[in-house]
Amino acid sequence: MGKRKITKLNQLKFKPFNKYGSPIKGWSWHKISFNKKTNFGTYVSKLKPGTKTLEHTHSGYEEFLILKGEIIDSDGKVFKKGDFITYSPNSRHSSYTKKGCLILTFMRGHNKTLKKINMIGILGGMGTQAGLDFCNKLAIQYRGKIDQDYPLFFLYNKSNIPGRPESIGKTTGALSNRFRNISSKKKYQKVLKSLIDGCKKLEKAKCKFIVIPCNTAHFWFQDLQKKIKIPIINMPKEVFNHTKKKCKENSKIGLLATEGTLKTKVYDKIFDKRYKLFIPNDKLQKQNVNKAIKDVKMGNVKRASRIIQPAINYLVKNKCKKIILGCTELPIAIFAFKSISTVKTSKIFLDPNLILANAAVKRYKS
């Protein structure tokens, strides 16, 4: 009986799990009868709470028995103590444990880890042309020589999100006032629910982070990010960080935006301590800014580019160092018939869509 081996579960000596090369954080193993070359054999795995396994495919059978704790498979199925699970050849999965677990594994063939896909999630439809403008700028910023060089992104053109400016009630002028009456609360929650639904779809599509090419939508940013597991890049914050590189503190910065963005102070609460934001008067806002935005949404870009000009002249006349095009329809109105190099080298305009595209490319590369 010299070739007999007895393994006692209370005397296991765990080492970092390195079957796929580098050790995986929170995962250790005790090899019982495992052959690394053939990937045949038995071992015990110990996963600490919060540990995730790598997504992989099986060339042969993989089976395991849950000795302690529980583990959640990639389709959401929960395996608990006493469950014995069998994966057939060519099956594919990954797992996650919230509470930690101890697993007895039986391997019969090599596993192949799957390369993680880095994909940008874009929640568009606010408006549709603004989302497409962002995609165009994203592609230009990450231009490739062949199709396969361009970034992977998933555009969800969710054009049925309730109107953002229209959903901001009279008492919703500041973030702290958003729930002061029932009407404002209902409108706020309706938009928030639609934004969450959109981001959840991007999350389910395995996007690594999300961008939202709509300035007004960032009024819902804090509550939205709480409900979404993957990061959402904050457009107004990216514009602020860009402005810090271009303008001295206390500079006067012009802001052209929807009345909803102005009312909710999406930019003011970020810029106020460092810069002086300056906006058009009521007459210019209604007759020029609002109409130009509406024209772009309706496809009348030429008229929009003409209508917005008096509002621009007003900000320039009042010595604004830069002008934030704080509605994603406005860059279309101003730059529609000009090259991207004109947008990038503009000495006066700050294009949030272009700035957001740069931030997305930077995160995508990292």
* Per-block mean pLDDT, blocks of 10 residues, the chain (366 long): 83 91 90 92 95 90 96 92 96 92 95 80 94 93 81 95 72 46 80 96 94 96 95 97 94 95 94 94 96 94 95 96 96 81 80 96 87
Question: Is 276 found in the same domain as 216?
Answer: yes
Question: Is 345 found in the same domain as 219?
Answer: yes
Q: Note the pLDDT of residue 182.
A: 66
Question: Is 77 found in the same domain as 181?
Answer: no
Question: Is 262 found in the same domain as 186?
Answer: yes
* Pairwise CA distance, residues 16 & 99, whole Å: 19
Q: Domain for residue 227, yes or no?
A: yes
Question: Is 80 found in the same domain as 155?
Answer: no
Q: Domain for residue 362, yes or no?
A: no
Q: Which residue has the tokens 């509406």?
A: 294
Beta bridge partners of 63: 86, 106
Number of domains in the chain: 2
Q: Note the pLDDT of residue 326.
A: 96
Question: Is 26 found in the same domain as 51?
Answer: yes
Q: Note the pLDDT of residue 115.
A: 67
Question: Model-level pTM?
Answer: 0.68
Other C-beta atoms lying within 10 Å of the C-beta of residue 272: 11
Question: Is 174 found in the same domain as 75?
Answer: no
* Pairwise CA distance, residues 175 & 150, whole Å: 38
Q: Note the pLDDT of residue 170.
A: 41
Q: Domain for residue 329, yes or no?
A: yes
* Pairwise CA distance, residues 175 & 231, whole Å: 21
Question: Is 233 found in the same domain as 248?
Answer: yes
Give 58's Cβ-side CA count (13 Å radius): 17
Q: Which residue range is the domain that position 69 belongs to?
A: 9-113
Residue 127 preceded by cis peptide, ω within 30: yes
Q: Domain for residue 129, yes or no?
A: yes
Q: Domain for residue 363, yes or no?
A: no
Instruction: Provide the token pair at 129.
Output: 């042309």
Cα dihedral across residues 273, 277, 282, 285: positive or negative = negative
